[in-house]
Amino acid sequence: MGQIIGRIIEVKGLSVKAKLFTLLPPYLVHNGIRESAPKINGFVKTRIGLDIVICQVVGEFSEEVGGAVSGHYLQLDVKGYLSNGSFIQGLRILPIVSANIELLEDQEFNKIYSSSSKTTMCLGRNLFDENKKVNVNVNELIPSHIGIFGNTGSGKSNTLAKILSSYFEIVADYSTKSGKFIIFDLNNEYSGDSICDAKNKELYKLNTRKESKKRIPLNLDSLTEDSFVVLMNASQKTQAPVVKNAFRESMKKNDERKDEGFYLSYIKSIIKNSRKALFFSMRHYLASYFQHLDNFHYHSVQTKIYYKDGSINIYPEDPSFASKLDEITVTIPGDPLERFLFELYFSVAQENENGVNLDFMMPLISRARKLINDFHKIFDFDENFKDIFQGKNVCIIQLGNVNKDMKEIVPSIISENIFNRLQESKEEKGVKQIINIVVDEAHSILYDAKNDILAHDSVLQTFEKVIKEGRKFGLYLMLASQRPSDISQTIISQLHNYFIHKLVNPSDIQMIRKAVAYMDENSLNFISILAPGECIVSGTAFQMPTFMYVEQVEEKKRPNSDNPKLLGENGLFESSKQDDFNF
């Protein structure tokens, strides 16, 4: 039995008023254990026969008569009751007047947040009673969509690291490959031993300034013609047909592809018909594939293409002109991406012959060249496709050194590929594993923008599909962001569990107010005054909103996101060994 501290004197619906026997000190000693006295947002219990009703403290006050204090009171809200060893949120049982109120015992407190100690992990301690640990049921937290939000320095990175490192320890204890997670690390913070030992995770440090030392294995068959249309932001009426035609040609088997004769005949036809703009564009873009085109020039007066042999000009009507055309050779690229680019040039040429202005098509080629160049630096399209996890449970993809386009495209392509593979796997075997996709600084890629950019719209559609349908296939999303108001409302509203650190921007607070149905107004009022490390947790894994201080992850497992220290031990200004790093 818990320590009796007062009795109920009034019940009005869910609102309960209790009078304390005496003004309580900040801490009480019960059975040799120090416990916190009831505080705002703390819990007490009352008994109705054999049933136990749980109430939350929402206010406290004293009454005075003739200048003297006559009594001390608690204002309580009914939250639920304990039944068969479990906490049930509901109103089936309400307190009665004159019933005693008691402090909760540890096991009763734990039942409010978890159903079984064997399936829980400890994330921190109750904010208003440091003796009470907050354990969360793994079965209800990890297989769910999770959002972690808070201003810079509020502790959201530590919360993310605490969840992931605690989950990894459970996975490691079970020696299973059925629980995996992949982190899209936008600021290169999760290298080394962060989250888990470096040997236990597969790390891809990507770079678009130069070829990445270790590229992501990807099956080219996972990309479709529609994928390339979106990636190149091709206009639907003019450019999309060109991209699709080029993709189909590049993906054909060797015995179905066009031979060298077709391409040589095509380039010769352009020269014979003196297609000036088309010829010079093709010669510029296909310089690495076609040889012996440099001596062909355009005569502006005669408006025809001729061959310049030293000081001699050979025109199309000259019998020797045909032999000069026969000197042209072509080397068809074997790389599938290069073959796509090669085919794209000819698709553009064919559209130009059909009357489409070349000026409308050339920007497409520039975008395609950039896309293929970036793909070669990031992806490994080896036919011997390998699993991105390489047999491990953790995969880190660092995107701090890639350009803005790839920072959005890479997570989208990989997430789509994982979704499709899990979907196919379920059709064959049912759900045999779960994968959590983790996006830190999610506002950088999942922002809701009305800019008619197909590639970004596709990124949002991919992640919205993951959050709407992924649960059926064992795929879940975990987001961390300092600006929840910038993220797609569809994604925010579909999250199951929320960890809310300090937020001060009114737009962000309003977004949380609209999206988190589990949080009451009393909890929302605390969001702007939380200290670093403190957060409000709410969602399907929690019976009610909970104020928690998230425990610090051990130093070696922390992401590299701490504020720099200027003075004191190991301070930047006092280091005995200064790095000579200057702009």
**Residues 234-281: tens digit of each pLDDT:** 887 788 888 898 888 888 877 777 888 988 998 999 898 888 888 888
From its phi and psi, is residue 355 left (phi > 0), alpha (psi between -120 and 50) or beta? Answer: left
> Using 50, 70 and 90 to split pLDDT, how confident is the model at 424?
confident
* 338 occurs within a structural domain: yes
Angstrom distance (rounded) from CA 456 to CA 446: 8
- CB count in 10 Å sphere of residue 478: 24
Q: Domain tally for the chain?
A: 3
Mean pLDDT, range 400-417, rounded to an integer: 92
For residue 384, pLDDT over 90 is answered with no
Mean pLDDT, range 474-487, rounded to an integer: 94
pLDDT at 564: 67
pLDDT at 442: 93
What CATH number corresponds to the domain at position 466? 3.40.50.300
Contacts 24+ apart (CB under 8 A), 280-286: 281/348, 281/358, 281/362, 282/345, 282/349, 285/345, 285/365, 285/369, 286/342, 286/345
pLDDT at 232: 85
Mean pLDDT, range 402-430, rounded to an integer: 88
Same domain, 194 and 255: no
pLDDT at 383: 60
DSSP state of 499: E
Same domain, 109 and 158: no
DSSP state of 407: H
pLDDT at 581: 55
pLDDT at 99: 94
pLDDT at 410: 93
pLDDT at 311: 85
Same domain, 278 and 311: yes
Range of the domain at 430: 136-211+392-557
For residue 201, pLDDT over 70 is answered with yes
pLDDT at 449: 75
Residue pair 20/5 in contact by the 8 Å Cβ criterion: yes
* 385 occurs within a structural domain: no
For residue 578, pLDDT over 60 is answered with no
Same domain, 200 and 244: no
Residue bearing the bigger pLDDT, 386 or 73: 73
> Last residue of some domain: 350, 379, 408?
379
Mean pLDDT, range 499-525, rounded to an integer: 84
> Using 50, 70 and 90 to split pLDDT, how confident is the model at 169?
very high
Residue carrying structure tokens 């803005």? 404
Angstrom distance (rounded) from CA 238 to CA 352: 11
Q: How much is the pTM?
A: 0.84
pLDDT in tens, 334-356: 888 888 888 888 888 877 777 77
Tokens of 501: 């650190």
pLDDT in tens, 86-121: 888 777 888 999 999 998 887 888 777 665 566 888
pLDDT at 117: 60
pLDDT at 451: 62
Angstrom distance (rounded) from CA 39 to CA 24: 10
* 571 occurs within a structural domain: no
* 387 occurs within a structural domain: no
> Last residue of some domain: 325, 357, 379?
379
pLDDT in tens, 30-74: 666 677 788 888 889 999 888 899 998 988 999 888 778 888 999
> Using 50, 70 and 90 to split pLDDT, how confident is the model at 161?
very high
For residue 577, pLDDT over 60 is answered with no
Closest to 348 (Cα-Cα) out of 266, 445, 246 = 246
Same domain, 487 and 397: yes
Same domain, 229 and 289: yes
Same domain, 196 and 249: no
